[in-house]
Amino acid sequence: MKIISYNVNGIRAAINKGFLEWLAASKADIVCLQEIKAMHEQIPLLDFDALGYHHFWYPAQKKGYSGVAILSKQMPDNVVYGMGMEEYDREGRFLRADFGDLSVASIYHPSGSSGDERQAFKMQWLADFEQYIEKLRQERPKLVLSGDYNICHQAIDIHDPVRNATVSGFLPEEREWMSGFFAKGYVDSFRELNKQPHQYSWWSYRANARANNKGWRIDYHVLTQNLKPKLKAVDILPEIKHSDHCPVVVEMS
């Protein structure tokens, strides 16, 4: 099973840059999208039908903002929209699909980069998200939590850890949250198999960052510990350029 997570930074913009052609060639079984930035009526749904995907969209209430989606070749047994928390659900941040005993979620964690208020919102989200997932795991023990976490976990995950130490996305309290979350029995699938530096999934549009590979690894497939034996391969695809992010891949048996 091949699962891809991709923050497309606007599904319509990505489609204009060849996203659908890439998707057809990707051979992905499940694709989790973040930042779709579109309402249902703005998405060419028939194009996704034509590619053989069942597709589920969870846009934000605010137009042109946030939103997540899941595309899958197999029809899920069940799809759950949101976490039942209005302050997050109106921003379209969490969508889950169940396939047998496996659940896959597409998640868009908030960014705190616009200022103190959103940083506080992000930290509250992290606490609430963890609590929600811990409860969900009692009911659905096999979880793949895919998406844009908006946090680099360790120094190896960011091009300039020293100068970014006080920047949202690499703050000590964010990194500490992630360490604590992993310690509860969750696995950063990429780092489980790839310990190499300079592996990034997002680059600023400024200062030629992508061409110089001055990036951040903020997109993850986080697995519950019980799925670790099924982990076969991981990849990051920086050559795919429909967005300021690139797709991240996990393959499981």
* Residue 63, Ramachandran bin (φ over 0: left; ψ between -120 and 50: alpha; else beta): beta
What are the structure tokens assigned to 228, written together? 């670790």
Active site residues: 148
Q: What is the CATH number of the domain that holds 243?
A: 3.60.10.10
To the nearest 10°, report the CA torsion of 63, 136, 7, 55.
-70
Q: Which tens digit of pLDDT belongs to each residue from 24-80?
A: 999 999 999 999 999 999 999 999 999 999 999 999 999 999 999 999 999 999 999
Model pLDDT, residue 73: 98
Helix (H, G, I), strand (E, B) or coil at 23: helix
6-18 pLDDT, tens digit each: 999 999 999 999 9
Q: In what order do the strands lie in the sheet with 68-72?
A: 54-58, 68-72, 30-34, 2-7, 248-252, 231-236
- Which pLDDT value is given to residue 230? 98
| pLDDT for the residue numbered 210 | 98
Q: Give the three-class secondary structure for 226.
A: helix
| Whole-number pLDDT of residue 223 | 98
Q: What is the pLDDT of residue 151?
A: 98
**In the structure, what pLDDT confidence band is assigned to residue 95 with cuts at 50, 70 and 90?**
very high
Give the chain's count of helices (H) and strands (E).
Answer: 7, 14
Domain hosting 56: range is: 2-252
Task: Return the pLDDT at 111.
Answer: 98
Number of domains in the chain: 1
Average pLDDT rounded to a whole number, residues 169-186? 98
Q: What is the pLDDT of residue 156?
A: 98
CA 95 to CA 146: how far, in whole Å? 10
pLDDT per position as a tens digit, 179-213: 999 999 999 999 999 999 999 999 999 999 999 99
pLDDT of residue 2: 98
pTM for this predicted structure: 0.98
Neighbours of 245 (CB within 10 A): 25
Instruction: Name the DSSP letter for residue 196.
Output: -
Q: What is the dihedral of CA 239, 240, 246, 251, to 10 degrees?
A: -90
- Segment holding 175, helix H or strand E: helix 172-183
* DSSP-assigned states of every residue in 64-107: TS--EEEEESSPPSEEEES-S-HHHHTTT-EEEEEETTEEEEEE
